[in-house]
Amino acid sequence: MKKIISYIILITLVVLLSGCKNNSHKKIGILIYDKEDTFMKEYLTSVINTIEEEYYYEVGFADRNQLKQTSQFINFIDRKFDLIIVNAVDRLQSGSFIEKAEQNNIPLIFINREPQSLLNDSKNSYYVGSDSKNTGLLQANIVKEMVTNNKIKDKNNDGIIQTIILKGEQSHQDSESRTIEFIDSLGKLDVSYELLAISVANWDRKQAFDKMRELDQMLDNIELIVSNNDDMALGAVDYLKEKYGEIDLKIIGVDGTNSGLNAIDNNEIYATVTNDIVAQTEAIKKITDYLLKGIIDSDFNYEERFQLIKGEIVKK
Ligand code: BGC
């Protein structure tokens, strides 16, 4: 019985993870660092919806394991895929991916996790991701607007906003730049704040919940939570609801995932900055059509190897 169930699961996976309308279509391999990542799930759906009519595709999920991803990558290379979209587990690994792809004349599009190597020197590899500095600035603009309109409850009446930051994965360019730029911009905007803690929760809702528990002693003093993504913001929401039954501070996220936007509707999260999946997918499609079909969109700058897409503020 166990065997039959595993077999059914395997078949379902194979059907879900590849798509083909026509055998003559060019083949695209897609590598995703973790299939449990909420944002990447929505991103992958959007990429698939955009390419599936015109290209054959297969997806490999790495479960945050670089060795697994490398073997999936080699598999696509050996099977002569025409292009590989890489959401790298370890950004340091990207250099060896670029080298191997060039030896085999296969273009790469890195997405969301920026390669730490000389993409500009590569023949035909690209990066598509969010403009994370801009995201940090927009989060600071949200805080400025809240201060101006007295929307943050000053629990201890000191005129200073007691703040914590929930940070994504260390060394991920989005966690680092969003955090640094947010802090810098608050200073430039003359916002009086006190940073009580920066807590790393690796983009994950459950880990953010646990981090909030660790910060429990200071919870009564916190007036603002700024999170590097919506999922960690939701982890904070979960904890505050469990502890107090209500949320009496302001929370800001990033991404605009479906669950993040719902939380804004329900007044649990105050605002988010989008990590624009539609615009990023469009850029991926344009680069793909250019590399695999020679289609040129005169409005698109193919010289720019780092396509950084700006987000927008969403609030109620
Ligand atoms: C997103 C996170 C996501 C991470 C994955 C970030 O840009 O904001 O939600 O978990 O990318 O690499």
pLDDT of residue 120: 83
Residue spans per domain, the chain: 2-123, 132-274
Ligand 1 site-directed mutation target among 40, 43, 134, 165, most atoms within 8 Å of CB: 40
Query: Strand, helix or coil at 261?
Result: helix
Which among 71, 88, 84, 73 is positioned nearest to 34, based on CA atoms? 88
Of 243, 158, 242, 239, nearest to 251 by C-alpha is 239
CA atoms within 13 A on the CB side of 8: 5
Query: How, if at all, do strands 193-200 and 250-255 pair?
Result: unpaired
Distance between CA atoms of residues 17 and 11, nearest Å: 10
Best CA proximity match to 107, nearest among 119, 121, 125: 125
Asked whether 203 lines ligand 1 (CB < 6 A), one says yes
Q: What letter represents residue 236's amino acid?
A: A
The finding on whether 130 has its CB within 6 A of some atom of ligand 1 is yes
What's the topology of domain 132-274?
A: Rossmann fold (3.40.50)
Q: From ligand 1's centre to the CA of 43, what distance in Å?
A: 10
**Beta carbon of 254 within 6 Å of any ligand 1 atom:** yes
Nearest of 251, 246, 255 to residue 271 by alpha carbon: 251
Ligand 1 within 6 A of CB of 193: no
CA of 33, closest atom in ligand 1: 12
* Strand intervals (E) in 73-156: 83-86, 108-111, 126-130
How many H helices and E strands in the chain?
A: 10, 13
Q: What is the DSSP letter of 218?
A: G
Say if residue 217 is exposed, middle or buried (CB neighbours under 10 Å; 0-12, 13-18, 19+).
exposed
Burial of residue 102 (number of CB atoms within 10 Å: 0-12, 13-18, 19+):
middle
Cβ(275) – ligand 1 distance below 6 Å: yes
Tell me the pLDDT tens digit for each residue of 101-158. 999 999 999 999 999 877 888 888 999 999 999 999 999 999 999 999 999 999 999 9
Whole-angstrom distance, CA of residue 120 vs CA of residue 132: 19
Question: Identical fold at 2-123 and 132-274?
Answer: yes
Atom of ligand 1 nearest to the CA of 203: 10
Q: Are 311 and 274 spatial neighbours (Cβ–Cβ below 8 Å)? A: yes
Q: What is the pLDDT, as a whole number, of residue 20?
A: 60
Mean local confidence (pLDDT), 56-68: 97
**Helix, strand and coil in the chain, % to nearest 5:** 45, 20, 35
Q: In one letter, which amino acid is 252?
A: I
Confidence of residue 22 (pLDDT cuts 50, 70, 90): low
Atom nearest to 172 CA in ligand 1: 12
Ligand 1 pocket member 276 (CB < 6 A): no
Inter-residue contact 250 to 289 (CB < 8 Å):
no
pLDDT score of 144: 98
Query: Does the beta carbon of 37 lie inside 6 Å of ligand 1?
Result: yes
Q: Give the pLDDT score at 11.
A: 43
pLDDT at 23: 65
Looking at ligand 1, which atom is closest to the CA of residue 37?
A: 10
- Give how far the C-alpha of residue 65 lies from the chain's centroid of Cα atoms, to the nearest Å: 17
Q: Compute the mean pLDDT over every residue in the chain, rounded to the nearest whole number.
A: 93
CB 220 within 8 A of CB 155: yes
Write the single-letter amino acid at 138.
L
* Right CATH for 2-123 from 1.10.3720.10, 3.40.228.10, 3.40.50.2300, 1.10.600.10: 3.40.50.2300
Least confident of 4-13, 72-81, 116-125, 257-266: 4-13
